Amino acid sequence: MYSKMALLLLPLILLTLLRIDMPSLDIVSEINLEEVRNATENATRELSTRFDFRGVEASFEWKSPIVTLKAEGDFQLAQMVTMLRGQLSKRNIDAKALTLADPECTGRNWSQKITFKEGIEQPVAKKIVKLIKDAKLKVQAAIQGEQVRVTGKKRDDLQTVMRLVREAELEQSFQFTNFKD
């Protein structure tokens, strides 16, 4: 009745018709460096209007991806870090992305470098995968370079993964991209 060719192709045709892409998302750690530059410029403007910094040599220097703070005292450096964090939070940059170097003293001037973490390092990615597996959700997590790809059958499981990663204390900011349903 049916030819042999049709019988051979029938399973393949059924698979392509019934093929359902599983929902997935990527967990990444990215920083918009333009926003960091803008926050640094805003902090410089705020520094010029602050009464407690009048007559004091203090500055923010932006050299991608490092911000250098310079002041006359370590207490002033701490105030400047607080100012910069405030400006970064206004621009939706997570404070966990900052890495503060130790303050350095040269004569009467103090300086401190601030760098920004981008990309998920291998040990942190392994912690994320372990966290997801320990939650016993019906999802698969795979490390792909500097990101973690999570796939599952249900969208709700992926949203649970997002909540788990946000609540975990991994000392790094994460974003969720390529959410495919």
**Rounded Cα gap, residues 158 and 181, in angstroms:** 10
pTM for the structure as a whole: 0.75
What the chain holds in terms of domains, given with CATH numbers, is 22-30+119-180 (3.30.70.860), 33-116 (3.30.70.990)
pLDDT in tens, 147-163: 999 999 888 889 999 99
Could you tell me which of 40, 34, 37, 32 has the C-alpha nearest to residue 59? Answer: 40
89 pLDDT higher than 60: yes
Give per-residue pLDDT as tens, 24-38.
999 999 989 999 999
Mean pLDDT, the chain, rounded, equals 86
pLDDT for residue 15 = 44
Backbone angles phi, psi at 143, to 5 degrees: -85, 125
For residue 117, give the 3-state DSSP assignment: coil
Q: Phi-psi bin for 171: left (phi > 0), alpha (psi -120 to 50), beta? A: left
